[in-house]
Amino acid sequence: MKSLRVLLQKKDIFPKKTVLDEKTAFYIFREVIREEFGNQGAHKLIPDYFQKKTIFVKFTSSAWASELRLTQKEIIKKINKKLGGNLIEEIKFK
């Protein structure tokens, strides 16, 4: 039988939570938007703030909001893939 100390020393016994800060979320969001829509999209879709796995985005026209709304699920998947986990669940428009 293994001792409690040996079991607790294993690295994956208590996986650490990944904490995502606003700066990282915005950087990855801009990177994915640039890949999808180019530099123009990156300038027109502006992340405003990040809270509870949600990125709130400002936009310069309703056309850009529609484009983002149509590709929202794909963008979230790409962001989460780059982050290595399910850290973004939603994109909301402001």
Any idea how long the chain is?
94
Q: Which residues of 25-35 are buried (b: 16+ CB within 10 A; e: fewer)?
A: bbebbbebbee
The radius of gyration of the chain's CA atoms, rounded to the nearest angstrom, is 18
The confidence score (pLDDT) of residue 72 equals 95
- Rounded to two decimals, the pTM is 0.79
CATH class of 19-93: alpha beta
- Check: CB of residue 72 under 8 Å from CB of residue 89: no
Could you report the per-residue pLDDT of 10-61, keeping only the tens digit for each? 655 555 566 788 999 999 999 999 999 999 999 999 999 999 999 999 998 9
Query: What is the H or E stretch that residue 56 is in?
Result: strand 54-59
Is 1's pLDDT higher than 70?
Answer: no
Per domain, the residue ranges of the chain are 19-93
